[in-house]
Amino acid sequence: MPMPGLIWSVLWPPFLAAVAALLLWSLFGPVVALLLFSVFLLLLLLQHAVNLRALANWLVAPPGAEVPDGSGAWGDVFNVIYQSGRVQSSSQYQLSAALERFQRAAEAMPDGIVMLNEADQIEWCNPVAETQFDISNQRDHLQRITYLVRQAQFTDYLSAHNYAEPLVMKSLRNADLTLSIQLVPFGDRQKMLLSRDITQLERVETMRRDFIANVSHELRTPLTVVGGFLETFEDAEHINMEQSRRHFQLMHDQTRRMQGLVDDLLTLSRLESKQEKMPEEAVDVRALLQTLHKEAQSLSAGRHRLHLELGTECNLLGNERDLRSAFGNLVSNAVRYTPEGGDIVLRWERKGAEARFCVQDSGIGIESQYISRLTERFYRVDRGRSRETGGTGLGLSIVKHILTRHQGRLEISSEPGKGSLFCACFPERRVIE
């Protein structure tokens, strides 16, 4: 801060005193003049000493202490110091406010952040990093991170100094947690460690891989069969009519199987596509079940006793095509997994506020440990039986999707050797009285 008149205000009192001493010299002689001049200088020195002391006291006083009353040029000095102090504390305040804002933003980040110094010691970390690495911002301050995250992969990543690719690793403390870790060097050999929970992403990736493997596997078997027969036709001279009819029939079966699989895959993909809005209408469930009953009779071809029980007249608000597909899957499963002579009941009923379509069979049943997995894609209790009867392993997965779209749920109870009960339950808001 400029102090234009300061030098002058310091110099003018002794200067005036010197002029006055010269005058006194000419009037009263040198002794009086020098004596008075010395007294003046002594008083001036005393004034500076008092002000200096006030300055020293003020500088060590806590912030906000009152500005001392400086005499002479000291008043200006105190004022200048006071003003520059105010500017400094205001910029300090702004700086710490900005720092606090940054820290709050870093704390609110959905990813983990750990600031490391050049010795890989923790300088700061946000709450997400605390949970992901089981570290504490306060307790572990300046602890080496490799002492706390004791995983060889992690230590290698840190020491390799090649941070172009993130490190993907399972958390040692929580095996269900998969983390993607990226080190970002900055400033003077400091590092920022960013960690992201990619458990869900990994799960989806595994599901995608499994799905492709399953589809390929499902298609390969019928394709191999058809390919094999086509090869035998190349050698057509040795094939008689009866043989070729049988081969055609088998090829037809396999093609139908592939067709079924592709149809189910397309249905699943349509159901999973969020863009497609489900058109809704009042579905006449009784008429729908009568049709399904007839279809089940033709599928069963007299091997089962089929009963239709229409216990309620209510209808459903939903998508007819989807509901038909879901109910049809439950009915065809009952026919396919019930040995000859068994009973199958299709029941439309109210239970409390809900409406339910239930299919009860006296078939092979399912052991309780498998029930929770039945709606997974391609999950089958007995692969051979499912394939023999034309199953794709996608039926119940489609049923679950359709029910979820109707805010409904699938209830399954079963006893091995005795039979199963599959119920599609719909909430009150879907019921039309």
CA distance 134 to 171: 10
For the bound state, the minimum distance from the C-beta of residue 428 to ligand ADP, rounded and expressed in Å, comes to: 27
DSSP 217-236: HHHHHHHHHHHHHHHHHHTG
Q: Which is nearer to ligand ADP, 382 or 428 (CB)?
A: 382
> Exposed, middle or buried: residue 149 (CB in 10 Å: 0-12, 13-18, 19+)?
buried
Q: Which is nearer to ligand ADP, 171 or 386 (CB)?
A: 386
Number of helical H runs and strand E runs in the chain:
13, 13
For the bound state, the minimum distance from the C-beta of residue 397 to ligand ADP, rounded and expressed in Å, comes to: 6
Query: How many chain residues are in contact with ligand ADP, going by CB under 6 A?
Result: 23
Binder of ligand ADP out of 193, 316, 366, 424 (CB under 6 A): 366
Q: Which is nearer to ligand ADP, 267 or 420 (CB)?
A: 420
> Exposed, middle or buried: residue 230 (CB in 10 Å: 0-12, 13-18, 19+)?
exposed
For the bound state, the minimum distance from the C-beta of residue 295 to ligand ADP, rounded and expressed in Å, comes to: 16
Binder of ligand ADP out of 364, 402, 410, 424 (CB under 6 A): 364
Assign residue 120 a region (left: φ > 0; alpha: ψ between -120 and 50; beta: otherwise). left
Q: Which is nearer to ligand ADP, 132 or 397 (CB)?
A: 397
User: According to the binding rule CB under 6 A, does residue 24 interact with ligand ADP?
Assistant: no
Q: Which is nearer to ligand ADP, 358 or 396 (CB)?
A: 396
Of 90, 85, 96, 83, nearest to 59 (Cα)? 85
For the bound state, the minimum distance from the C-beta of residue 378 to ligand ADP, rounded and expressed in Å, comes to: 8
Q: Which is nearer to ligand ADP, 116 or 292 (CB)?
A: 292
Of 303, 379, 356, nearest to 334 (Cα)? 303
User: According to the binding rule CB under 6 A, does residue 374 interact with ligand ADP?
Assistant: yes
Asked if residues 135 and 123 have their Cβ atoms less than 8 Å apart, the reply is no
Tell which positions 96-155 bind ligand ADP, by CB under 6 A: none
SS3 118: coil
User: According to the binding rule CB under 6 A, does residue 68 interact with ligand ADP?
Assistant: no
275: amino acid identity, one letter: Q
User: Which residues are CB-contacts of 58 (< 8 A; sequence separation ≥ 6)?
Assistant: 65, 67, 68, 78
For the bound state, the minimum distance from the C-beta of residue 226 to ligand ADP, rounded and expressed in Å, comes to: 20
CA distance 180 to 197: 7
User: According to the binding rule CB under 6 A, does residue 391 interact with ligand ADP?
Assistant: yes
Binder of ligand ADP out of 74, 157, 337, 426 (CB under 6 A): 337
DSSP 265-291: HHHHHHHH-SSS----EEE-HHHHHHH
User: According to the binding rule CB under 6 A, does residue 395 interact with ligand ADP?
Assistant: yes
Segment near ligand ADP (CB under 6 A), from 15-23, 30-38, 224-232, 359-367?
A: 359-367
Tell which positions 296-335 bind ligand ADP, by CB under 6 A: 329, 333-334
SS3 70: coil
Q: Which is nearer to ligand ADP, 112 or 363 (CB)?
A: 363
User: According to the binding rule CB under 6 A, does residue 393 interact with ligand ADP?
Assistant: yes
CA distance 317 to 150: 57
User: According to the binding rule CB under 6 A, does residue 267 interact with ligand ADP?
Assistant: no
Q: Which is nearer to ligand ADP, 73 or 261 (CB)?
A: 261
Q: Which is nearer to ligand ADP, 163 or 370 (CB)?
A: 370
Q: Which is nearer to ligand ADP, 68 or 395 (CB)?
A: 395
For the bound state, the minimum distance from the C-beta of residue 222 to ligand ADP, rounded and expressed in Å, comes to: 14
* Cα–Cα–Cα angle for 251, 252, 253, rounded to 5 degrees: 90
Segment near ligand ADP (CB under 6 A), from 24-32, 100-108, 242-250, 375-383?
A: 375-383
CA distance 124 to 78: 40
Tell which positions 397-426 bind ligand ADP, by CB under 6 A: 397, 420
Asked if residues 108 and 153 have their Cβ atoms less than 8 Å apart, the reply is no
Of 152, 185, 187, nearest to 167 (Cα)? 152
For the bound state, the minimum distance from the C-beta of residue 168 to ligand ADP, rounded and expressed in Å, comes to: 33
CA distance 177 to 199: 6
For the bound state, the minimum distance from the C-beta of residue 165 to ligand ADP, rounded and expressed in Å, comes to: 40
Q: Which is nearer to ligand ADP, 197 or 361 (CB)?
A: 361
72: amino acid identity, one letter: G
Contacts with ligand ADP, residue ranges (CB under 6 A): 329, 333-334, 337, 361, 363-366, 374, 379-382, 386, 391-397, 420
